[in-house]
């Protein structure tokens, strides 16, 4: 009987040790990334995302391909010039508006499915990279960011842009996000 108890306690100790090791490994897998700068965060995020060039985007537009074009800049930036057919969802409200049917109804666009193609852009590309990463985390499957952002589009296709200047005051365009 004593031998059986020793065998049981030895077996129980092994189980406890394995459980403890499992908890440690699980905790190590849950480590949160830490970055020294926003640039480092953008660089890391971009490695797991897909880019689209301005020429590829223009081809999609010209061929009337169905996709969601999202300008993640602030309204003051968007209104001074944007890619035709885009909807403005600033990066700061993206998580809240992207799956909000009332938001989409107010824009006049249809409510998109998570499996549809999404192309995001900002002024130069950094904000759209972080926004694309956010959409991926929210379960959107087919997300791209525009290489070089609005500035690249504006330089490549200067005659292909819309403006909402009547929505803005006569002040200077506010720079946002440094990118």
* Statement: residue 94 has pLDDT above 70: yes
7 compared with 86, residue with greater pLDDT: 86
**Could you give the CA distance from residue 158 to residue 117 in angstroms, rounded to a whole number?**
25
* Statement: residue 8 has pLDDT above 60: no
- Percentage helix, strand, coil for the chain under 3-state DSSP, each rounded to 5: 50, 10, 40
User: Is residue 174 exposed (0-12), middle (13-18) or buried (19+ Cβ within 10 Å)?
Assistant: exposed
Report the 10 Å Cβ neighbour count for 142. 16
pLDDT for 6: 58
Model-level pTM? 0.75
pLDDT for 63: 96
* 33-50: average pLDDT: 85
Collapsing DSSP to helix, strand or coil, 99 comes out as coil
Q: What is the mean pLDDT of the chain?
A: 85
* Statement: residue 114 has pLDDT above 80: yes
10-24 pLDDT, tens digit per residue, is: 666 677 656 666 665
């Amino acid at each position: 009987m004593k031998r059986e108890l020793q065998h049981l306690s030895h077996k129980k100790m092994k189980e406890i040790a394995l459980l403890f090791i499992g908890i440690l490994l699980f905790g190590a897998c849950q480590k949160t990334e830490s970055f020294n700068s926003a640039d480092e965060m953008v660089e890391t995020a971009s490695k797991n995302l897909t880019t689209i060039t301005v020429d590829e985007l223009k081809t999609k537009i010209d061929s009337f391909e169905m996709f969601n074009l999202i300008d993640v800049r602030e309204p003051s930036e968007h209104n001074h010039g944007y890619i035709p057919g885009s909807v403005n969802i600033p990066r700061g409200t993206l998580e809240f508006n992207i799956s909000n049917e009332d938001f989409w109804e107010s824009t006049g666009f249809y409510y998109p499915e998570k499996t549809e193609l999404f192309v995001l852009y900002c002024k130069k590309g950094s904000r759209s990279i972080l926004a694309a990463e956010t959409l991926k985390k929210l379960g959107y499957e087919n997300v791209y960011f525009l290489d070089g952002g609005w500035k690249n589009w504006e330089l490549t296709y200067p005659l292909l842009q819309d403006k909402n200047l009547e929505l803005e005051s006569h002040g200077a365009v506010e720079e946002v996000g440094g990118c």
